[in-house]
Structure 1
Amino acid sequence: MERNPSEMDKIPETQKLGKLMASLFRASVADPGKLPENPKIPITELEHWELCNKCNMMRPKRSHHCSRCGHCVRRMDHHCPWINNCVGEDNHWLFLQLCFYTQILSSYTLILDFCHYYYFLPLKKENWDVFVFRHELALLRISAFMGLIILGGISRLFYTQLVGIFTDTTSIEKMSNCCEDISRPRKPWQQTFSEVFGTHWKILWFIPFRQRQPLRVPYHFANHV
């Protein structure tokens, strides 16, 4: 059974929208790395833990206490109001996918708006008095305006997230200026990205429909807030 061109054009857009919604839903409901109330700390790793001065609980170094959620999160990057959840060690990869697919879908929308707008130009003189034409053209301009705002904002956020992964620092660590210790070993970018996404297979970095398997990180790379 053959599909007409209009149906074929909807397939890529539907796939992008599906991945975007999956990343948004999973980033919103996924556990960012919340610490249990009574964590079992091996004696050999006790030196890599510290006491939180807000909730008086032991936590691994590089963890942070979220005042909005009321608990500590492992390797917390920030609290995102758009997903109403913290961005931490266990859902940072989903937040990156959310930013990535939002940029793609916004760019795709802007391209369609641009093509649709120039399709309207030859009809403008003849159809300007038509109610449907005028309102559809207005909605098209609103869509393009919102697409530009979303693309610009998400692109800037995505860039700062990538820089943080390349430098192996979180947004909280940047604001607190706690990562200026030049003696800390610098890991290659492939290693830092693999730790965030939980796999060395780069093709899996773009797939939200999977379970993240945390990689074991040597403690001599660790830093703390």
Structure 2
Amino acid sequence: MGLRIHFVVDPHGWCCMGLIVFVWLYNIVLIPKIVLFPHYEEGHIPGILIIIFYGISIFCLVALVRASITDPGRLPENPKIPHGEREFWELCNKCNLMRPKRSHHCSRCGHCVRRMDHHCPWINNCVGEDNHWLFLQLCFYTELLTCYALMFSFCHYYYFLPLKKRNLDLFVFRHELAIMRLAAFMGITMLVGITGLFYTQLIGIITVCQRTLQHILSPV
């Protein structure tokens, strides 16, 4: 089954997504300009590292778009309930529609979502049955890109040889320290947040799998 497109009209979510895109653009423009390209031109790093950086950046952006516009598992207004599964459905007291158990009503989106985990303002969408894996994919690529950028920022000051050719007339090199400090602050903040979120998501998945396995193996 293909992924269904889903848009949430929420100015608060748009602002949060805009902030994420700003952080992405800030790093994808300034990190190569200040660190990657100058060190490549002076022979300190191979070109493949720049290609990897842009590759991860593109994967991260694509994952963000897919997680934000994919239907998380929104229930239709008149769901068809299989005859043998009626006992596993219940009535939502907010939208007055029948829904499977473990579904939840999102007050921000205004509808019920199958196996809803939470509403994430950073993707302006719910995280549910149909896009949970895309959300985890986004967390993985974001953490990978953040670690990659922080690693190069550290190496730029403490490992690589000092750059011999820098055009101090350019704004980015005149204010390099302030720009890199802001990039490091955003990177560390995002790394801590994403790591905690990714960890709790994996723990939740493992817990659900354990309960399901216990239910299957338990004697009737």
TM-score by length of 1: 0.68
CA 1:187–1:131: 2 relative to 1, 3 Å: farther
Separation (CA, whole Å) in 1 of partners of 2:47 and 2:157: 21
Q: Structure 2: which 5+ runs fail to align?
A: 1-42
Separation (CA, whole Å) in 2 of partners of 1:52 and 1:9: 51
Separation (CA, whole Å) in 1 of partners of 2:162 and 2:57: 31
Cα distance, 1:121 vs. partner?
8.4
- One of 187, 205, 211 as aligned partner of 2:213: 187
Q: Say if 2:184 is the partner of 1:144.
A: yes
Cα distance, 1:26 vs. partner?
0.5
Give the paired residue count: 169
Q: Say if 2:94 is the partner of 1:54.
A: yes
TM-score by length of 2: 0.69
Q: Which has the higher helix share?
A: 2
Q: Say if 2:190 is the partner of 1:153.
A: no
Higher relative contact order (CA 8 A, sep 6+): 2
Deviations 1:153-190 (A, max 9, x none): 11011111111101018xxxxxxxxxxxxxx94428xx
Cα distance, 1:118 vs. partner?
2.8
**Partner SS, residue 34 of structure 1:** coil
**Is the 1:35–1:72 Cα contact (8 Å) retained in structure 2?**
yes
Which residue number corresponds to residue 91 of structure 1?
131
Q: Say if 2:168 is the partner of 1:168.
A: no
Which residue number corresponds to residue 65 of structure 1?
105
Deviations 1:2-59 (A, max 9, x none): xx96532222112211211111000000000000000111111111111001111000
Which residue number corresponds to residue 22 of structure 1?
62
Q: Say if 2:78 is the partner of 1:38.
A: yes
Aligned-pair RMSD on alpha carbons? 2.6
Q: Which amino acid aligns with 2:213?
A: K
- One of 107, 116, 140 as aligned partner of 1:76: 116
Deviations 1:133-170 (A, max 9, x none): 4411221122112111110111011111111101018x
Identity %: 64
**Is the 1:28–1:84 Cα contact (8 Å) retained in structure 2?**
yes
Separation (CA, whole Å) in 2 of partners of 1:122 and 1:36: 60
**Partner SS, residue 50 of structure 1:** strand
